[in-house]
Chain A
């Protein structure tokens, strides 16, 4: 399965879902699409057939508000039908705005409050080490989310226990609720912080599929891996890119058409 094609379809589904549901967080959903597409088409050993297998790879979305594009990715790779996505944010549906696992095959863990995913992923990685399994645990965290202290507690623990089966991907889109992370509570130099906490930290273009795949596969023995994936919030839709307002708004009919056109052209 071609990850670029999957990413494009996931972007279209995501804007459709947010439009239909009049929901929010489309910018956050779009910034991580390429990461999800590469993980689910080329890297993670997880499929509808091995969801109960303890040897499967685990993926946890910690920035649960981006849930729309995770649902869309799971549908695209066959965990459930694409038609199901039309239920997102609808009354009586299991597809809540923040990602939920209940009744949705493929979602490993429900999140929404920030700073929860990395500790849970750390526990999963520890369990695999205890039981001598060779599976990987990947957790995707937002950059603003790194202001939550529980992440750093978990990193200390993961490094101490040499959890090299843990991969933390940071969706470094640099925008949080009001403005740039660096103008809110500065995170940089982020790589040095992760290094200091005992992780092997790499920094890449979070929209470059080849770089993503290469980096996922290059873990270091004895250390958790942190990948700072530099991304653009709202990536793929011209008027959404790097605009904080798309943390809150949903596209109207006209904006949706433009979004589809932008995505079809594969906006660079």
Chain B
């Protein structure tokens, strides 16, 4: 997904000298050609995330379209107040791009688990929250975000979905990958793969929705889709509090959708267990097996 990001940014920068990439000293092995090709459009601010967002806001105030890149928590939690006060209150074109959503960097340890970012980012006004599940959608998101006003948060992971079944990402419009009967699985990010595996495994015709944008959201369209089902299962590589499942519950409440909801996510804990993304999903029961279990219980 990171390669897709820099490819998209390269396309943009070719035609628009106001596109600027700021990195917090990350992106080794990926950003060097961009730096060489676009002097004056690439700045490594060093290891200094708070000033990074302030500097990005100043650049954007002067008309630049700024992309700020760092690891999950560094570009969100470490500089949250700068995001809120400097970028969001002034509605500046500052696009926060995080590498390492969820357990992308699982074995690196708790500091590198981005598992509260979606809840926190979506709570702040004037910020769009986009969570692609694969490289192609990441590219599409970047191309759109550059020319949308205001702040955005783009959550990237390594690799992403191996499937090519997802359609074009249009910011704000949920992607119904597969319609089904009675049960709908809803996921954001590459964990969508677990939903697709679970839907393949069951004999039931289960629907799958890629909720790649948490904000802005076509809630009317989402509510219309949800109304077609009797059980919604959300799955997220994120704390249950404030994430994808929470968002669905909000929409279901606001639009008075008569449907049951089961949430698969992290249960309010910071994880010390070491392991890669796949391992941690399995260990924490936020994988296809967890979904299958809920589907089977529903059948009973």
Contacts and interface: CB of A to CB of B under 8 A. Distances in A.
Interface in B46-85: 46, 48, 50-64, 81-82, 85
A230 B89 CA distance: 32
Q: How large is the interface on A (under 10, 10 to 19, 20 to 34, 35 or more residues)?
A: 20 to 34
Interface string A100-124: 0100000011111101101111111
Contacts of B53: 119
B172 to A, nearest CB: 25
Interface string B99-117: 0000000000000000000
B80 to A, nearest CB: 11
A118 B57 CA distance: 11
Contacts of B62: 54, 123-124, 127-128, 131
Contact of A150 (B20, B50, B89): B50
A156 interface: yes
B31 interface: no
A116 B58 contact: no
Contacts of A161: 43
B43 A126 contact: yes
Given A150-B82, A153-B51, A122 B58 contact: yes
A242 to B, nearest CB: 30
A120 B46 contact: no
B55 A154 contact: yes
A156 B82 contact: no
Contacts of A113: 81, 85
Interface string A212-248: 0000000000000000000000000000000000000
A231 to B, nearest CB: 25
B128 interface: no
Nearest to B53: A119
Contacts of B63: 54, 127
Given A154-B54, A156-B48, A119 B61 contact: no
B40 interface: yes
A116 B82 contact: yes
Nearest to B61: A124
A118 B48 CA distance: 14
Contacts of A80: none
A157 interface: yes
B4 to A, nearest CB: 26
Given A125-B58, A127-B64, A150-B82, A119 B51 contact: yes
Interface of B: 20, 40-41, 43, 45-46, 48, 50-64, 81-82, 85-86, 89-90
19 contacts: A109-B61, A111-B85, A112-B85, A118-B54, A119-B53, A119-B54, A119-B82, A120-B55, A120-B86, A122-B54, A124-B58, A124-B62, A127-B58, A127-B61, A127-B62, A130-B64, A150-B54, A157-B45, A157-B55
